[in-house]
Structure 1
Amino acid sequence: MIVTVTPNPSLDRTVLVGELARGAVHRVEDVRLDPGGKGVNVARALVAANRPTMCVLPTGGTEGTCLAELLVAEAVPVVEVPAASTTRSNVTVVEADGTTTKLNEPGNALSDTEIAALENRTGELAGRADWVVACGSLPAGCPDDLYGRLVRAARAAGARVAVDASGPPLREACRARADLVTPNLAELSELAARPLNRLGDVVEVARRVQREGVATVLVSLGADGALLVEGNGVWHGTSASTFVRSTVGAGDALLAGFLLAGARGPSALHHAVAYGTAAVRLPGSRMPGPDDLCFDSVHVTGVDESLTLNGTAA
């Protein structure tokens, strides 16, 4: 079983417009309402592939109730941690050419009691899990070391831990020696405190994260694919597909695909990039299932460290 933890989930409303113009009135061509949050998206993709999954998240208010109902409709098992504050709502505007503009609420504060309940429920489930996957931003009130604490608790219970985060929470997860971290290019650049313009720069920083105790680093490079660094191996996965409908959730799909394929080696990277590619071809934050995948467009090779990156993050 894989347990996902999403401290700051959301209701995601995606609207499609022809072209976004600042200050103008737009006629919306289509609207989607999806359960949101990075760990929530990972759980949705895992369930679509029939992988036993449990989705842990705080919920509050009408939005929280709606979020849980949407997950139940997708057959995602939910463990709710009741919260006094209302679950946030995010809005994504997608243009016809795939350009995506996101308006994300920060999320309301969780109390110390609610944070403790989230940790306790995760710790209880970790004893029955192969992986605990902690993802996304932290709402107000959460300490920066929450993911670090979850890493230590889950590993003590016998589970491996993956973390998809940014800033201080990512740094704390690395210090706690998460088994897998999955930053995008911007997040890894922030961790390094410098721009990473070449693939060789990404390899260098990922190796540094490894030396600090993280076994596997999977970096989402957006249109440049993904980089996997583990043990003594480094691989670069790319896709020949250029069609983009929405980039929302692509990094989450990448992580789900990696876990579904065993989370090890170039074959898992190949599977991960196929999932990320499938996600950008779908509307809103819909997660791909096995029928959406096209493996023929994905290529995994050694690393050309001189390759210049375009800076797009998924």
Structure 2
Amino acid sequence: MILTLTLNPSLDRTIEIAALDRGAVIRAAAARLDPGGKGVNVSRALLANRVESCAVVPYGGHEGRQLVDLLSREGIDMITVPIAGATRSNVTLAEPDGTVTKINEPGTAMSAAELEAVAEAILDTAHAADWVVASGSLPPGVPVDVYAGLCRRFADAGMNVAVDTSGPALPIATAAGPALIKPNREELAEATGMALTCLGDVIEAAEKLRALGAATVLASIGPDGAVLVQDGGTWYGECPVAEPRSTVGAGDAMLAGFLAAGARGEAALVEALAWGTAAVALPGSRMPDPKDIRRDLVGVGRPDPERPLRSADR
């Protein structure tokens, strides 16, 4: 089983518009409300593909109850941890060419007791879990080393730990020795202080984070695909998207596919790219199911270090 932890979950409202025109009245073409948060999305993607998962979700206020209700309707197996503050709400504006504008609330503070309750909820289930995914932004006031501390505790309990976060929390968590980290291009550049202009730069940055402590680095590089660096090899893969609709949750779907396929080597990278690409072609933060996933479109092989990158993650 794969456990997921989202310290700062959300309600995600996605609004499809013809174009973003600042200062104008814009009529929406469509709108949807989804449960959000990186770990939540990983569990949703796993459920859609019949892989056993359990989401650990702190929640509070009316928005939190609505989040739990949405997850229950989807059939997500979850452990809920009540907190005093209110769950945040995020808004995404999606344009027809795949351009996405996100407005994310900061979330609400969590006390030390609430953080401990979340950790204990996972440790109580450790005997049944192969992986625990600690992911997403940190709520206001939560210590920046919280993922590092959780990583050590979960690893001591016998679980493989995957970390997907950003900012200062990423290198600090990496130094705690997680089995896997999944940065995007911007996060990889920030964590290493490198300018990433070609595949060779991405590989060098990934190796820096492996030297810092991560066993495996799965780096998503937007329209350029993904790079996997771990003991045993380095692989590069890409998969075309005919009609992109939303990138929200695509990285989470990628991580879910990678873990579902065993988190090792070329076959796992194929699965990661197939799931992530399928998510880009879906509206809002909808997660792909088997009918959406096209493994035959994925190309994976040894990377050409000189190959330039087209564009940065947005």
Which of the five TM-score ranges fits, normalised by the shorter chain? over 0.9
Q: Deviations over 1:32-54 (max 9, x none)?
A: 00000000000000111111111
- The answer as to whether partners of 2:241 and 2:281 remain within 8 angstroms in 1 is no
Matches within 5 A, 1:97-108: 97-108=97-108
- The answer as to whether partners of 2:241 and 2:277 remain within 8 angstroms in 1 is yes
- Equivalent residue number for residue 86 of structure 2: 86
- The answer as to whether partners of 2:13 and 2:92 remain within 8 angstroms in 1 is yes
- Equivalent residue number for residue 263 of structure 1: 263
Q: Which runs of 4+ in 1 moved over 3 A?
A: none
Aligned to 1:20, the other structure's residue is in SS state coil
Aligned to 1:47, the other structure's residue is in SS state helix
Name the count of aligned residue pairs: 314
In the alignment, is residue 274 of structure 1 matched against residue 274 of structure 2? yes
Separation in structure 2 between the aligned mates of residue 310 and residue 22 of structure 1, nearest angstrom:
27
Q: Deviations over 1:258-312 (max 9, x none)?
A: 0111100001000100001100000000001111101111100111111111333
Task: Give the aligned residue type for 2:37.
Answer: G
Separation in structure 2 between the aligned mates of residue 151 and residue 128 of structure 1, nearest angstrom:
17
Separation in structure 1 between the aligned mates of residue 60 and residue 311 of structure 2, nearest angstrom:
36
**TM-score with structure 1 setting the length:** 0.98
Separation in structure 1 between the aligned mates of residue 58 and residue 311 of structure 2, nearest angstrom:
33
**TM-score with structure 2 setting the length:** 0.98
Cα deviation, residue 159, structure 1: 0.7
- Equivalent residue number for residue 7 of structure 2: 7
Separation in structure 1 between the aligned mates of residue 178 and residue 259 of structure 2, nearest angstrom:
15
Cα deviation, residue 76, structure 1: 0.5
- Equivalent residue number for residue 17 of structure 1: 17
- Equivalent residue number for residue 143 of structure 2: 143
Aligned to 2:257, the other structure's residue is in SS state helix
- The answer as to whether partners of 1:241 and 1:297 remain within 8 angstroms in 2 is no
Gapped regions of structure 1 (runs ≥ 5): none
Aligned to 1:127, the other structure's residue is in SS state helix
Q: Deviations over 1:197-228 (max 9, x none)?
A: 11101100111211223111000011001000
- Equivalent residue number for residue 221 of structure 2: 221
Separation in structure 1 between the aligned mates of residue 172 and residue 127 of structure 2, nearest angstrom:
22
- The answer as to whether partners of 1:270 and 1:299 remain within 8 angstroms in 2 is yes
- The answer as to whether partners of 2:240 and 2:277 remain within 8 angstroms in 1 is no
- Equivalent residue number for residue 174 of structure 1: 174
- Equivalent residue number for residue 68 of structure 2: 68
Separation in structure 1 between the aligned mates of residue 154 and residue 30 of structure 2, nearest angstrom:
41
Separation in structure 1 between the aligned mates of residue 104 and residue 56 of structure 2, nearest angstrom:
21
Cα deviation, residue 240, structure 1: 2.7
Task: Give the aligned residue type for 2:269.
Answer: L
Q: Deviations over 1:81-112 (max 9, x none)?
A: 11111000000000122211000001111112
- Equivalent residue number for residue 113 of structure 2: 113
What root-mean-square deviation, in Å, do the aligned CA atoms of Structure 1 and Structure 2 show? 1.1
Separation in structure 2 between the aligned mates of residue 69 and residue 108 of structure 1, nearest angstrom:
19
Cα deviation, residue 126, structure 1: 2.2
Cα deviation, residue 133, structure 1: 0.4
- The answer as to whether partners of 2:270 and 2:300 remain within 8 angstroms in 1 is yes
Task: Give the aligned residue type for 1:17.
Answer: I
Aligned to 1:50, the other structure's residue is in SS state coil
Range moving further from structure 2, 217-226 or 118-127: 118-127
Separation in structure 1 between the aligned mates of residue 244 and residue 35 of structure 2, nearest angstrom:
21
Matches within 5 A, 1:114-263: 114-263=114-263
Gapped regions of structure 2 (runs ≥ 5): none
Q: Deviations over 1:147-176 (max 9, x none)?
A: 111111111111100000112211121111
Cα deviation, residue 127, structure 1: 2.9
Aligned to 2:169, the other structure's residue is in SS state helix
Task: Give the aligned residue type for 1:109.
Answer: A
Separation in structure 1 between the aligned mates of residue 102 and residue 303 of structure 2, nearest angstrom:
32
Separation in structure 1 between the aligned mates of residue 99 and residue 210 of structure 2, nearest angstrom:
34
Separation in structure 1 between the aligned mates of residue 127 and residue 195 of structure 2, nearest angstrom:
39
- Equivalent residue number for residue 286 of structure 1: 286
- The answer as to whether partners of 2:58 and 2:82 remain within 8 angstroms in 1 is yes
Separation in structure 1 between the aligned mates of residue 304 and residue 223 of structure 2, nearest angstrom:
16
Q: Deviations over 1:38-78 (max 9, x none)?
A: 00000000111111111002100010001011111111012
Separation in structure 1 between the aligned mates of residue 127 and residue 151 of structure 2, nearest angstrom:
13
Task: Give the aligned residue type for 1:196.
Answer: L
